[in-house]
A and B are shown apart, each in its own frame.
Chain A
Amino acid sequence: MKIITMSEMFIHPSLFFILGGLLIPFLRGRTKQSYMVAMALLAFLAVVIMPHGTYGIYEFLEWQLTFGNVDKLSKVFAYIFCIMGIIGIIYSIHVKNDGELLAAFYYVGGALGVTLAGDFLTLFLFWEIMAFSSVFLIWYRKSEFSVKVGFRYLLWHVTGGLILLAGIIIKYNLSGDLTINHFPFHGWWPTDLQSLASFLIILGFIINAAVPPFGAWLPDAYPVATVTGAVFMSAFTTKTAVYALIRVCAGSEILIILGVVMAIYGVVYAVLENDARRLLAYHIISQVGYMVAGVGLGTQMAINGVVAHAFCHILYKSLLFMGTGSVLYMVGTTKLTELGGLYKTMPRTMIYTIIGGLSISAFPLFSGFVSKSMTVAAFGEEHLMWAFLLLMLASAGTFLHTGLKIPYFIWFGKDRGIKGKEPPWNMELAMIIGSLFCIGLGVFYQPLYLLLPYPTNFKPYTLYHISETLQLLLFTQLGFFFLIKKLWCENSISLDTDWFPRKYAKVLMWFANKPLSNLEYNYIGEVYEFIIQKPIMRVAYYFMKIDTVVVDGAINGVGKLAMVCSQKMQKVQSGQIQHYAMIMLAGVIILIIIGVVLP
């Protein structure tokens, strides 16, 4: 490796997670806990002191790998990933399983790597690291469910990664360059090689962003992850995909439609959901839909909105997962049909979750208000009113679920007499930090705006805007209480777009099991038997017969003849001298006759 440029002020924050994580299995107790938090804090500091520019360039074969591409866009994402890392680690320091902690570390390290990657190969490397480490966050839940779900998750991500790789290879073949640059996909379908490359790349990103119809892995996997794992997962995979989309595919019009559909899709499915964490997972799809649509729009305000939204979303979504995760941890279930009346025993958790719900719904004074509305307003600016209205519709739905349905059914609703308890201090501390951010950013939003890639002159706190939002949300609440009977949950699951592979994965496996194995063992394998072994053995058998029957037989026959003759001869030998004398005399006379008479 030839190091071309390295600046002293650039320390790749991933290093703290990837290398620092290696030490975790060797530490115990308080040392381990403080060490982990320290690593996350150091990573955050590394991001703070990172100046803009390109660093960490290495030569690899004929390519140039760039590990540190720092500009406003990557820096703001790096910030939020580090902050989330800190919060998540605080939430998880009670976890005993070192493997799970290691997985979380590598997951965060991978996300930071993707953010700061300057070329596609580095991006792919970290993309794969993220996929492989996050699957352990599912597997460590150790229910029989989680095994299968983990495999599905991994297969989705590996396939997505490979599609991405295919796109990268084609692009490389075309342009000879691996640097990450703006390479949007226009139109609806690939028309030539160039658009095929961008199509495959955007497809690879979309799969990770959980865009329908490829997003079924998210609601499949997130509810089954560990209590702490889900907190991490809600933040990273989809947001790194959003980052990648902003970086590479901004302005790809197809994303607008996909995003809007996504936003509504998530909301629709969430109505039917019974498991609180799966409901939140569908909500991630809905929220990311806003982001994807914003990326598709591509204007400066839209991109700003997406970035701000991603920043705040990570914070309030993780807060929601932390809240419901605490319920899972302390009570043992997140099924809404089995919960209710917990406000009496877990009031503080309820407050934090409600704060999260108000943030996600973009209530004034909370973080969502200053971020989500920017994206939606961008659509308004461009006069794409259909998208604008549909997104507002989805906002109503968001409040419906996260702000109303979840709190109502978990903490109020029918009191089933479940005894909860407030979660351990570290989980509560993490939730407090998250809540502070949610409220803090809602009130003091200027620092956030300064971090955004483009200059912002969006003013969230206009009277009109406040009124608009309050009307929307509060009257949604009215509707909620009107139809509350309809919203009672049932113990069911909803079929998603992975129905086909799941139902028919069995077919696939059956194919491998029966016909293919049949082919392999009974036909192709047996070819050796049929063509070689049996005929050869048969021919050998015949030759053996020739050997034993004919040849040996002949020799035996000769031997037998000799035996018979000699037996007969034996009879001739009577043992009496006069017979011998007579025969001798006869013999001599015959000899004389032959010797004298004949010639």
Chain B
Amino acid sequence: MENIINNNINYPVLSLITFLPLLGAVFILVIRNEVLIKWFALSTTFGTFIVSLPIYKYFDKTTHKMQFVENYPWITTWNINYKVGIDGISVLFIILVTILSILCVTVSWRVVQHRLKEFFVSLLVLETAMIGIFISLNAFLFYLFWELTLIPMFLLIGVWGGQKRIYSAVKFVLFMLAGSVFMLVAIIMLYHVGGKTFDILELTKVNYPVGLQLWLFSAFFAAFAVKMPMFPIHTWLPDAHTEAPTAGSVILAGILLKMGAYGFLRFSLPMFPLAVNMLFIPLLILSVTAIIYGAYVTLMQNDIKRLIAYSSVSHMGFVTLGIFTLNQTGIEGGILQMINHGIITGGLFLCIGMIYERTHTRMIEDYGGLAKTVPVYMIFFTIFTLAAIGFPGLNAFVGEFLIISGAFKANMIIAAFSIIGIVLGTSYMVWLYYRVALNEINENTKPKLFDLDLREIATLMPLVFLVFLIGLQPEILLSYMHVSVEHLLEQVHTSPIIEDYNISDSVNLMIQNLKKYIIGG
């Protein structure tokens, strides 16, 4: 295994991070006392966060190879091993998951009224599954964790959600399953074609024929595009986000959406470089469409949560734009923007959740003049709004700058269109801000509004801190990515073209026969 290096950590740190939440969930199952459950969940997520810190201390930024690798044989007949590891692309997501999970626990402190135990169990199982996705180095393991996220998410939306929760939850699951079915078929095909192994690193080394690459890319694309979500299969997103409880929305927007993009980076780009290069322009166009379409529809929303949900479509469009530029700046911008989006949108959903707790309405018309009634809350909301706009000095600006830089290198016209997306983005956020914060105070909701308490401030502070930190010192995050992204790009740009033997030949033959039949008689 020459793709991995040894680090100074002697214990299986990645498995620890992954399964600690699961362990906590198991313990919670036997606890009766509600308060104890909440504190236990909090300590578990906090513990996971602490345990994930050594990774960043010992991470070697000079290599692209996998680090902290653990490899245990599992089902050996089919070469399915429990193999996990991280590199510069995946390392940042782990801390995003751990931080957001803590905040999900704290924000749900008072909200959950019934079935408290099951709620926190779902949350913790979800955390395990999410971390598992980012660290899996075995395709089968990856698929396992991928599907595993569906169940707790379904429960979170379906049991503790809003009015249309069952409908949204079912829609969510069906969309996801439909996409991942294709991915499963593709993974199995990879197993056969790639040398009877599910190991991701091994599979990446194989040069697949062009036609096959296109098919496999499309299959994986189905799964990742639904997850991101890309236009036009994004329609599950508004329903799921809106009906989910606050913690659900934060996790959904903050992490689950990123899984799709991560999939592109881990699977599609390294394994199917020819396909990616061929589909370069259409993918860019699709991304820009998502940006502009998402932003446009956002303008029309009257429900705050739905508005932020649709804005995620637009933001993830930026991420895919960055990724598919296939240059260093663009991809780094895309990855950074994923982290930024998780922080910003997570923060916005937390804000909305807190205000919803008080007024039980999400309609914009029910709000107004919040700047006067809840000034502390307004400070946080303003910071997140400015961050979402891409105000210089805050985190999203760096991501957007890098992405647009990369896009200009790739294709100028498409980049120009993406700038329209930023203008629209500014419009809807400023408009939302105006109607909510500055307008006339709405008398209906005024009595119910009281300012943030300490717990809520503590929930929002870490994100605000990160907004400024990344905005002023993005190198802290970017330094992890440089080498791995370079390596990825090497794989994408320098791959030999192998003539396809199976598919395109047979397709050619088919076409020739058809021609003979129709013309020749």
Contact = CB atoms under 8 A, between A and B. Distances in A.
B430 A512 contact: no
Interface stretch (B7-15, B18-26, B191-199, B415-423): B415-423
Contacts of B178: 532
Interface stretch (B60-68, B128-136, B397-405): B397-405
Contacts of B427: 151, 155
Contacts of A527: 232, 235
A132 B391 contact: yes
B423 A169 contact: no
Interface in A491-542: 509, 512-513, 516-517, 520, 524-525, 527-528, 532
Interface stretch (B51-59, B110-118, B214-222, B292-300): B292-300
Contact of B472 (A1, A151, A158, A525): A1
B409 A154 contact: no
A284 B336 CA distance: 43
Contacts of A162: 419, 422-423
A487 interface: no
Nearest to B431: A151
A169 B408 contact: yes
Interface stretch (B91-99, B150-158, B180-188, B473-481): B473-481
Contacts of B416: 166
B434 interface: yes
Contacts of B422: 162
Interface in A396-443: none
Contacts of B174: 528, 532
Contact of B232 (A151, A155, A158, A524): A524
A124 interface: yes
B296 A512 contact: yes
A461 interface: no
A109 to B, nearest CB: 13
Contacts of A125: 392-393
A159 interface: yes
Given A169-B404, A516-B297, A516-B300, A151 B430 contact: yes
Interface in B432-475: 434, 438, 472-475
Contacts of B119: none
Range for the number of chain A residues in contact with chain B: 35 or more
Interface in A1-37: 1
Contact of A520 (B297, B404, B415, B419): B297
Contacts of A532: 174, 178
A86 to B, nearest CB: 27
B171 interface: yes
A172 interface: yes
A38 interface: no
Interface residues of B, number: 39
Interface in A52-78: 60-61
A512 B235 contact: no
A173 B405 contact: yes
B373 interface: no
A165 B422 CA distance: 12
A159 B423 contact: yes
B409 to A, nearest CB: 6
B426 A158 contact: yes
Contact of A155 (B386, B419, B423, B434): B423
A61 B475 contact: yes
Interface in A214-253: none
Interface in B336-383: 371
Interface in B245-264: none
A175 to B, nearest CB: 13
A159 B473 CA distance: 26
A147 interface: yes
B472 A528 contact: no
Contacts of B232: 524, 527
B142 interface: no
B171 A173 contact: no
**Top 5 closest pairs, chain A to chain B, by CB:** A125-B392, A525-B235, A158-B426, A162-B419, A524-B232
6 contacts: A1-B473, A139-B434, A159-B423, A165-B401, A516-B296, A528-B174
Interface of B: 171, 174-175, 178, 232, 235-236, 293, 296-297, 299-300, 371, 386, 391-393, 398, 401, 404-405, 408-409, 415-416, 419, 422-423, 426-427, 430-431, 434, 438, 472-475, 478
Interface of A: 1, 60-61, 99, 121, 124-125, 128, 132, 139, 147, 151, 154-155, 158-159, 162-163, 165-166, 169-170, 172-173, 509, 512-513, 516-517, 520, 524-525, 527-528, 532
Given A121-B392, A139-B434, A158-B426, 4 more contacts: A166-B404, A516-B296, A516-B297, A525-B235
